Chains A and B, each alone.
Chain A
Amino acid sequence: MDPLLYVFDLIVFIGIFGIVSLSLNLEFGFAGLANFGKVAFFLIGAYTYALLSQIGLPFYLCLIAGGLISAIFGLLVSLPALRLRADYLAIAVLAFGEILRLIVKSEDWLAGGDWGITVSSAISLAGASHRVDALVNIALVYFCLFICFTVAQLLANSPYGRAMRAIREDEIAAETLGKSRAKFKAQALMLGSAMAGVAGGLYAQYLHCVLPGMFMPMITFTVWIMVLLGGPANNWGALLGAALVEIFDRGTNIVKDYFVLPIDPSNLQYILFGALIIFVLLYRPHGLLKESSIKTKALRLAYNGRRSIKNKRS
């Protein structure tokens, strides 16, 4: 295989899962929600993209629709789910994701059943080589990633993000200080689902298909590894985690192709993932990058000028 194409492919995957990782970071890292059903919203985005592109909608509308429909589902799920304790929420959304997967698996007429749906590329240039195709994909994916990252950063560094973190720390205290936990959590789930939905659409068009088997709960937990490894409540950490996990994934695949190991590398990969995450939880529960502090212009001014403020008073 063309090694450059291999690298391009890796970059695309980092971008797509970077978006999902950012979205989980918004929900878990900032708002403290245990979304164990992330893959459900990824699936919704992917199938929406696939179905709409089948009827000939342009790719950007398919992507936006995927994000919107996923956001609506996020909001719907949040209505009953947000009253739940962390563990109940986790189990409920996990089950929700499995139900969705059962539906797309069973309803051949709608979603092609086990055979899935074939999806055409978002942008296909006539006569372009594979490399150019990959570059176009990189441009598209990283454009979306840039938007999601910007949104996540703006939220993180705003009073809104501060309120979200307050709810994560102590939702009762935050509630008595005027932060409606229901509203903030619902919005976090909605925004997170929108991002995951867009990522799903990108994934569908990049892989040229959607199949129920692409949306196993394993996806959710891979994204959890990304966030926990990179550092919750740090958007750079979410991206770093996505990059490391994807590179590690490729690494074990290369090992599989070129070396003979006593243990099947694809098994070894998950054993190492599991061990890594337990190690991180035990010895580095804040991940590689620690939580980013809130940065607003006013805060920066205040911190820089603090001494002068004090001098003025004394």
Chain B
Amino acid sequence: MVNWAQVIFNSGVTGSLYLIGAVGLTLTYGLSKFPNFAHAEFMTLGAYIGYFVAEQLGLGLPLALLVAFLIAGLVGVLCYRGIFQPLAKRGASIIHLMVASIALGFILRHSIGAAWTWKPLYFTATWSAFDAGPLRITGLWLWLIFAALVLSLAMHFLLMNTKIGKAIRASSSNPELALASGINVDRVIWITWFIGAGLAAVAGIFRGADTQIWPMTGWDIILPIFAVAILGGIGNFYGAIAAAFIIGLAENIGVVGLIALGLSTTYRTGIAFLILIITLIVRPQGLAMLFRRA
């Protein structure tokens, strides 16, 4: 007997994680016009920093989130400034930018491996699980959903009501026009990289706390996160919200389906890959037309 309430709830949890992970990817993709594969390692880095702050220093989850956000954001800006901006200035093709981002991923992933070894780490803080009606819930999941809600509201406020947010939207949809109308596009881009990498770190902590932390933590979920960014329409925050929950649902309902069909549940990750491929082939602009461009 399938507990559908649990399936829906789990979808919300999965979607929340993917949303937090995908916001930075979709915004930097929209602005810098290439997919940053090292976004995966921004997540991994966040997970380790979070582990360091919360477990090794024992300062708790909220502070871990904050510190990881700031440090990873800084790393994101430095990577943009040190690698991607110079490459773009030299007229690098999109393929070169993608390869560079993968190379950056190598550097970050293996630096993390060198610093913490490849042995998986676990958050020891126990997230009390409790039952609410038909649902089994853990404290971590509530934190995660709460974080996704706060993020959505904050991003909505940022994009709609602040100068920088409007500048991000303008630069993403038409960089030449934005430049011509006096927007400092360069500043917009690095601020976006800061926020994007910082949010990736937050997602990394939640993923790490929910499963394990190892140097592949981010890479393990990078393709579902690409799926969210692309299904939502590149650079489109509101599209990403919808896409995150669509993919969350697809994965969790998919697992039910896989079990019913007698297939291995290792295919769970493949569901997002399949959605990704189908979106790219059938509708590469994603859901973009359905949402106000943001």
Residues of A within 8 A of B (CB): 28, 32, 34, 36, 80-81, 84-88, 90-92, 94-96, 98-99, 102, 105-107, 221, 224-225, 228, 263-264, 267-271, 273-275, 277-278, 281-282, 285
Contacts and interface: CB of A to CB of B under 8 A. Distances in A.
B280 A274 contact: no
A102 B106 contact: no
A275 B102 CA distance: 11
B226 interface: yes
B280 A92 contact: yes
Nearest to A28: B95
Dominant SS at the B interface? helix
Dominant SS at the A interface? helix
**Category for how many chain B residues contact A:** 35 or more
Contacts of B273: 95-96, 98-99, 102
Nearest to B117: A264
Interface stretch (B53-61, B85-93, B244-252): B85-93
A242 to B, nearest CB: 17
B100 A281 contact: yes
Contacts of B96: 281, 285
Residue of B106, B223, B274 with most chain A CB atoms under a 10 A cut-off:
B106
List the 6 closest A-B pairs by CB distance, nearest first. Answer: A274-B106, A274-B107, A106-B264, A277-B103, A267-B110, A267-B114
Interface in B94-131: 94-96, 98-100, 102-107, 109-111, 113-114, 117
A75 to B, nearest CB: 15
Contacts of A28: 95
Nearest to A89: B280
B34 interface: yes
Given A86-B93, A86-B95, 20 more contacts: A34-B94, A34-B95, A84-B280, A88-B230, A92-B280, A95-B226, A95-B277, A98-B273, A102-B273, A105-B266, A106-B267, A107-B264, A270-B110, A274-B105, A274-B107, A278-B103, A281-B96, A281-B103, A282-B83, A282-B87
